[in-house]
Amino acid sequence: MAAKKSRSSKRKGLDPKKDFEEPVRRARQTRLPGMEDSPIKDLEEAAIEHSDTLGEIREKRAAMKTIDARIATLMKREGKKTYNHAGITIKLRKGEESVSVKVKRHEREGQTAESEE
């Protein structure tokens, strides 16, 4: 009988690195509904709002640093470590670089008169 040819040598496919000058890219599968990466408009809007708010906070912090430096300069000029008058309390912190400010809010006269009646 005739001997069968063995199939030990398999056909090999193309090698993307050796057989092509440019790398081979596979096509991406289109997005399927219900997959995790699909856009959610409400989430994206909330993220943008969050980012805008953080920007506003950063601007306010910069303004607060300027105001704190001004108050510290005024406190040093007046030779005060603490100031307390009409519900406003200012303390110069150690190192005299920053201040602590507390303001008690007074109720409006119209509101107190209405609540007494």
What does the pLDDT look like over 2-53, one tens digit per residue? 666 555 566 677 776 777 776 666 676 676 776 666 677 888 899 999 999 9
Nearest residue to 78 via CA among 86, 70, 88: 70
Position 112 confidence tier, pLDDT thresholds 50, 70, 90: very low
Contact 31, 38 (CB under 8 A): yes
What does the pLDDT look like over 65-76, one tens digit per residue? 999 999 999 998
Token pair listed for 53? 């708010």
Contact 76, 99 (CB under 8 A): no
